[in-house]
Structure 1
Amino acid sequence: MIDQQPENEVFAGVDTHTDTHHAAVVDPLGRPVADQEFPTTTQGYRTLLTWLITFGQVQAVGVECTGSYGAGLTTVLSAAGLVVVEVNVPDRGTRHARGKSDAIDAYAAARAAASGRATAIPKSRTGTVEALRQLRVTRASAIKARTQAINQLIGLRVTAPEPLRASLTGLTRTALVNSCLRLRPGADLACPADAARYALRQLARRIRILTEEIDEVTEHLATLTEAAGSDLVALFGVGTETAGQLLVTAGDNPERLCTEAAFAALRGAAPVPASSGRTDRHRLCRGGDRQANRALHMIAVVRMRYCPRTRAYVARRTQQGLTKKDIIRCLKRFIAREVYHALTRTHTGDITSTTGLL
């Protein structure tokens, strides 16, 4: 009887781009095996997958930019049962020492997966939270465009000819937009007065359309947020806006964040040691997702103002000599713990009793 030889174990890495992906395969010791370029199409993803498994049992695939250029490939590889890990783009120092090419970056990604240096599991992007993210992007761009249009409207009002400027001075923003909607410019746009009326009316129309778009998207966002994070919205101080941001940061698979400490670090709420000599203290973290950190900050501010337990906690910690920044840091860490258990639906009695004080 002939003993069956074990299948070779290999690791892969992918350097992602808009039109092409460059894949590389290494053995468990990080030695190069092969590399090849593939197009960023559905057929290209399948061909890349078939090419990978011809070298043996793929233990893990390190992919750059799983949330952007590599999103499609990540979905295909995950659906095929392969372990996909997020790989950071090589820093400037590494590229200066080793050079820069698609093959070099792909081999670097494969070695990061083989060595265990890359362990972050990418977002699945296949559920309600991904839909929520897309709508939030749409609303954010609409709000930005409306703000720009409002600023331009106010600026044109200041420089408008005197009779027109006088009629629009002293109005609130809503009244200004409604007044500009009723303007009737003349036929001669070479006249500054007629051109000003035309420009103000066009900006007012744009503001009205954008406002209607924002209101419509906001309604859909509220519905999706309630469906995806009902436990999260039920927390004190958590509204649909902050809940939506926290959900988007966690993704459709929050279980990829194995511990509450990892969740806090992702949101920039993990304490950073800042001790020296006889001074033993921590400081606020400047890393992590800054938008999620802002959401935690807003929850902390709301609780500091309206939650009796949090107000009592702040008073107690103030008497102990902590500054406001230190207190907010502690609050954000507690809130991150509470949010994590709300997202993963794994509340425990100990955690509830701890975060209940805040």
Structure 2
Amino acid sequence: MIVIGIDPHKSTHTATAVDPVTNTDLGSIRIDATLADYKTLIAWAKAWPQRQWAVENAEGLGHHLAQWLVVLGEMVLDVPATATARVRQLSRGGRRKNDRIDAAAAACVAALQGDARPVVPEGPTDVLALLDERRTNLCNNRTRIANQLHALLRQLLAGGAPTSLTAASATALLRGFRARSEVDRTRVGLCRDLIADLRRLDDRLAVNEKQMTQALDEHGTRLREVDGIGPVTAARLIGRTGRVSRFPTAAAFANYNGSAPVQIASADTDRHRLSRYGDRQLNSALYTIAMVQIRMPASTGRGYYDKKIAEGKSGRAANRSLKQHLSDHVWRIMLADEKRSHRQREEESERAA
């Protein structure tokens, strides 16, 4: 089995074929990042019928090429850039660096089965990630427009507008206002434009949530069975996590999302402090779930929280413990969902064959 390493760049890709037994460089080719040159790459690689591909940063610059190869039925591995850097440092002449050496390093990591992970075709998880990113942008735009509307209403009305401002409430406030100057008439006109923008964004957010619900139904996840997890939160958990099997343990996932507490080195072993590391979007989602469950007297989360309080923990410490407990629970659910999806794909491929 020959390993072909890929060092991707924005406009060009370099491929190097390596024999994993002898670690011999069998040849290299440099192509442009175009579909025509992708076909040239496949034609070049046919010299080794038994092959697998090792793409450095297959979720970044190498994403398009990696997915194109997967669709063709090629065996593709994702190699992180940090792993190829370690290979270069341990090899002779470690200070040297060029595209061919980087491609060979990616192939070496894949051959040694280090940090390489199989690349799978895009599916519902990627759809949820895109929808979550879109919702984040829509929410940011809505917040910005609502703040502008608040500022204008404060200049028009005594006492301004309520904090929870909606398009309907803003329209009702303007309905009883009579502009007495050209400046106020301009402000009213701008307020109406902003209200129209709010309505449009609210409609887009509603459509976005429906799309999330449909994608979650296709995904078949059981996350929504957990108290405090709705379509938006479930989409964020799945979309931000990606392929959950890349975390070997629940502790690794907790460290990734920042819910794992950090022990205070200069204090007793039982004392911990809040972690500021990890994916803050995932951390925020887990915090929201924890707060919802704490406010539900009959939920399992509230029972867990009360147990930690009875053990002598403070409210914040009990909340952090619940958040880590939820992280472990979410990890187990998503891992089971991924395994079930993998079995279904295998069954479908067997039926097709």
- Which bracket does the TM-score occupy, shorter chain normalised? 0.7 to 0.9
Partner of 1:5: none
Partner of 1:63: 56
Equivalent of 1:155 in 146, 151, 158 = 151
- Please say if residues 77 and 84 of structure 1, whose CA atoms lie closer than 8 Å, have aligned partners that are also in contact: no
Supply the AA of the counterpart residue of 1:143. C
In 1, Cα distance between equivalents of 2:158 and 2:323: 49
Supply the AA of the counterpart residue of 1:147. T
In 1, Cα distance between equivalents of 2:279 and 2:329: 18
Partner of 1:25: 17
In 2, Cα distance between equivalents of 1:143 and 1:341: 30
In 1, Cα distance between equivalents of 2:176 and 2:207: 24
In 1, Cα distance between equivalents of 2:34 and 2:307: 59
Q: Is 1:40–2:33 an aligned residue pair?
A: yes
In the TM superposition, residue 76 of structure 1 has moved relative to its aligned partner by 2.5
In the TM superposition, residue 254 of structure 1 has moved relative to its aligned partner by 4.5
Partner of 1:343: 334
- Please say if residues 130 and 239 of structure 2, whose CA atoms lie closer than 8 Å, have aligned partners that are also in contact: no
In 1, Cα distance between equivalents of 2:117 and 2:258: 16
Partner of 2:116: 119
Question: Against the structure 1 CA distance between its residues 158 and 99, is the aligned structure 2 distance closer, same or farther, given a 3 Å change threshold?
Answer: farther
In 2, Cα distance between equivalents of 1:278 and 1:104: 48
Q: Gapped runs of 5+ residues in structure 1? A: 1-8, 160-164, 186-190, 348-358
Q: Is 1:74–2:80 an aligned residue pair?
A: no
Aligned ranges for residues 230-309 of structure 1 at < 5 Å?
230-251=221-242, 254-255=244-245, 257=247, 259-270=249-260, 279=269, 285-308=275-298, 309=300
- Please say if residues 132 and 239 of structure 2, whose CA atoms lie closer than 8 Å, have aligned partners that are also in contact: no
In the TM superposition, residue 61 of structure 1 has moved relative to its aligned partner by 0.6
Question: Against the structure 1 CA distance between its residues 105 and 135, is the aligned structure 2 distance closer, same or farther, given a 3 Å change threshold?
Answer: same
Q: Is 1:206–2:197 an aligned residue pair?
A: yes
In 1, Cα distance between equivalents of 2:153 and 2:305: 47
In the TM superposition, residue 144 of structure 1 has moved relative to its aligned partner by 1.4
Question: Given the two structures, how large is their TM-score scaled by the length of structure 1?
Answer: 0.72
Partner of 1:216: 207
In the TM superposition, residue 234 of structure 1 has moved relative to its aligned partner by 0.8
Supply the AA of the counterpart residue of 1:35. S
In the TM superposition, residue 59 of structure 1 has moved relative to its aligned partner by 4.6
In 2, Cα distance between equivalents of 1:153 and 1:245: 29
- Please say if residues 55 and 78 of structure 2, whose CA atoms lie closer than 8 Å, have aligned partners that are also in contact: yes
In the TM superposition, residue 340 of structure 1 has moved relative to its aligned partner by 2.9
* Deviations 1:248-290, CA, capped at 9 Å, x for gaps: 1343x54555554444444344565655686356655544433
Supply the AA of the counterpart residue of 1:51. W
Q: Gapped runs of 5+ residues in structure 2? A: 339-353
SS at match of 1:306: coil
SS at match of 1:36: strand
Count of residue correspondences: 325
In 2, Cα distance between equivalents of 1:16 and 1:102: 8
In 2, Cα distance between equivalents of 1:42 and 1:180: 56
Q: Is 1:144–2:137 an aligned residue pair?
A: no
In 2, Cα distance between equivalents of 1:49 and 1:281: 56
- Please say if residues 271 and 282 of structure 1, whose CA atoms lie closer than 8 Å, have aligned partners that are also in contact: yes
In the TM superposition, residue 214 of structure 1 has moved relative to its aligned partner by 1.4
In the TM superposition, residue 13 of structure 1 has moved relative to its aligned partner by 3.0
In 2, Cα distance between equivalents of 1:104 and 1:232: 44
Partner of 1:162: none
* Deviations 1:279-325, CA, capped at 9 Å, x for gaps: 35665554443322322222222223325443343343334444555
In 2, Cα distance between equivalents of 1:108 and 1:183: 70
Partner of 2:349: none
Question: Given the two structures, how large is their TM-score scaled by the length of structure 2?
Answer: 0.73
In 1, Cα distance between equivalents of 2:118 and 2:274: 25
Question: Against the structure 1 CA distance between its residues 78 and 294, is the aligned structure 2 distance closer, same or farther, given a 3 Å change threshold?
Answer: same
Question: For structure 1, which segment, 170-179 or 289-298, has the greater mean C-alpha deviation from structure 2 after superposition?
Answer: 170-179
In 1, Cα distance between equivalents of 2:196 and 2:176: 10
Partner of 1:15: 7
Partner of 2:127: 131
- Please say if residues 232 and 243 of structure 1, whose CA atoms lie closer than 8 Å, have aligned partners that are also in contact: yes
Question: Against the structure 1 CA distance between its residues 271 and 204, is the aligned structure 2 distance closer, same or farther, given a 3 Å change threshold?
Answer: closer
In 2, Cα distance between equivalents of 1:289 and 1:169: 37
- Please say if residues 221 and 334 of structure 2, whose CA atoms lie closer than 8 Å, have aligned partners that are also in contact: no
In 2, Cα distance between equivalents of 1:12 and 1:181: 68
In the TM superposition, residue 75 of structure 1 has moved relative to its aligned partner by 1.5
* Deviations 1:175-227, CA, capped at 9 Å, x for gaps: 22455699999xxxxx6455434333322222221221112222222232244
SS at match of 1:148: helix
In 1, Cα distance between equivalents of 2:214 and 2:38: 34
